[in-house]
Structure 1
């Protein structure tokens, strides 16, 4: 039976050993573009490797439910781990109507973890670790979303307190692994002294290598042999994203092609078509924006990390973009007022085109979007200076 996932066991084992070796580990931050295999590695490889290294692993994806506050997602993940480890006792206790459970000598109402009148996150994690007699490894996927709300930011500080508490000599330890699809956004969690994980290591997560392509070709299920050289070339062009390879394979599964030369050419075309469709889908959303929304997004794309939404110079850039879009001088100046910009930012955030930290920092959500806009001619050079 074909393997469902491409595993990177050696890398996972190395990561786990390094993470578990340091009792004062400040946390590890791993950055990689979205849809490049990061989450699969965390769930299918790193989590099992950490378990083998002796840790109780808690995994939470802050991208999984964007309607729920990141703080609540983290608290729920801890709650699930506690209830899973208590097993039958937890179930029987809940069935009897009692919501408070004895964990590691501490009475816990699992539904109130991290809440104002409930047990603190640090105390809950410490109780769980002590009851199991082993360290906790908490993996937070898309961790940059934690700083999009006040509660989420506060939860990061609660986790710092938990790390400091559990890494003391009288506990078993807490290891934190945070991933993010944007290095710049993830850096906000550890770049300044007033952040919870100041100076924690931030590294680029390795993209899938040629080994993935060889595995993919071996698992292809097609009626012709995929050429690894062809697949590798298209994989690199697609930004090391497995979804493009998988989509092309699915297209060809019912093609009845048996000739390898014809099949590989068709595979390459299918990858290109998938990339075009994804790009066009993103560009269609941008083309549907109002003039001020489009102007704000374009200025963000041009300015990048230097974007300051309400500075006078930036307001002037919005007006420049609006004039380039066909507005006259008076219309452009009127549209580029700060209040209109604020409304545009809120709309762009609602459309998931931009990301906003709780402290008011804005960034484009998908890090590849500026290049896509530039290649589509949406960012004329006259607007960049």
Structure 2
């Protein structure tokens, strides 16, 4: 990942790294605990931005604020003194002047200029890491910010020589919890990163489960040791989410005795933890109208091929909701699903699930007629 971000992977080019994986599978942890230190060890300056942290704010402003803060961290002592006296405009000779407070705002420096300034000030490559980047599709100002980043990448990376840390002065890393949403940034000639490709984020698997079992077993009594294969299966049940696996193991190790006098197995605890995660879906499903359920089913069934208002979709809605559905009806249902946080609207009227766990949840609720172990 660091090779791609710094442009030293000969097969990757300099388009940047786009990683997609479901939420809570370890993306943010890897970025902050592993990728950031690796980039720093190579002499780069990583700038991490999480667009999921505060979804009420415009993503473009969140990115601009992080760049402002990073510039402030790298100001010289003279500039810091000047800022304390009320100056907000800083520069490097006559090359570029940047008003920090106005970066990314009307009348202020573009993010491209601000990043160029930061690159000069820091004297090393900048790697901007944008976590949950699909939120940049939620407003036109955010999309504009993405184009600004693309322009900065193209401008800064012209003429990079071998004396640099990598082959870029600005590297970009974007992650998303839904491949379709993240792909919207790279598919289509009118998108900011057209031509780049989305890579599936490598999920933790059996090797992680085995290592975690070894770690836990050193702290357990002999009669409570957990089997690596069972841990791996439990990890699969909770959709490879480390936090949920840890919760299942913790409840297995310290859990209560059941009504029959025996403790639930680790796999039973994994199902319990998964059910707990899915309870919100159950509650939301109960509160939906028949049409909203029909629309949600259609989104799940069609995936990338979903067209909200074509004849086939309208016919499917009508059949599943047992009512005649018009385009305005479908639009109202989609708006309601967006309000519930289940569906996101992307560019050009496209829609996708906000959390792909819904796919497994609905399959489970449809397939199994008997309760899961508890």
Q: TM bucket by the smaller chain?
A: 0.7 to 0.9
Segments of structure 2 that go 5 or more residues without pairing to the other structure are 162-167, 368-374
| 1:205 to 2:201 alignment | yes
Hey, what does 1:344 align to over in structure 2?
Answer: 333
Q: 1:87 to 1:227 in 2, by over 3 A?
A: farther
Cross-structure match for 1:242? 242
Q: TM-score, normalised by structure 2?
A: 0.85
How far apart are residue 354 of structure 1 and its match?
0.3
Whole-Å Cα distance in 2 between the matches of residues 189 and 218 of structure 1? 41
Q: Is the 8 Å Cα contact of residues 150 and 358 (structure 1) preserved in structure 2?
A: no
Q: Distance in 2 between matches of 1:240 and 1:288?
A: 29
Contact map agreement 1:60 1:140 (CA 8 A) in 2: yes
Aligned residue pair count: 349
| TM-score, scaled to structure 1 | 0.83
User: In the aligned structure 1, how far is the partner of 2:210 from the partner of 2:84?
Assistant: 51
Deviations 1:172-209 (A, max 9, x none): 61111111122222111112222111121321111113
User: How far did 1:35 drift?
Assistant: 1.2
Partner residue, 1:39: 28
CA distance in 2: counterparts of 1:87 and 1:363, whole angstroms: 46
Deviation at 1:307, TM superposition (A): 1.6
Among 75, 78, 101, the alignment partner of 1:111 is: 101
Partner of 2:305: 306
| Cα 1:91/1:341, change in 2 over 3 Å | farther
- Structure 2 distance, partners of 1:64, 1:222, is 36
Counterpart CA distance in 1 for 2:233 and 2:78 is: 54
SS in 2 for 1:107: strand
1:354 to 2:343 alignment: yes
Can you give the 5+ residue segments of structure 1 that lack an aligned partner in the other structure? 1-14, 324-331, 379-385
Is 221-230 or 203-212 further displaced after alignment? 221-230
Q: Which residue of 1 aligns with 2:318?
A: 319
Shift of 1:93: 4.0
Q: 2:288 maps to what in 1?
A: 289
Match of 2:86 in 1: 97
Quickly say closer, same or farther: Cα 1:43–1:250, change in 2 above 3 A: same
Are 2:238 and 2:273, in contact at CA under 8 Å, matched by a contact in 1? Answer: no
Query: In the alignment, is the contact (CA less than 8 A) between 1:149 and 1:358 conserved in 2?
Result: no
- Is the contact made by 1:222 and 1:252 (CA closer than 8 Å) also made in structure 2? no
SS of aligned partner of 1:86: coil
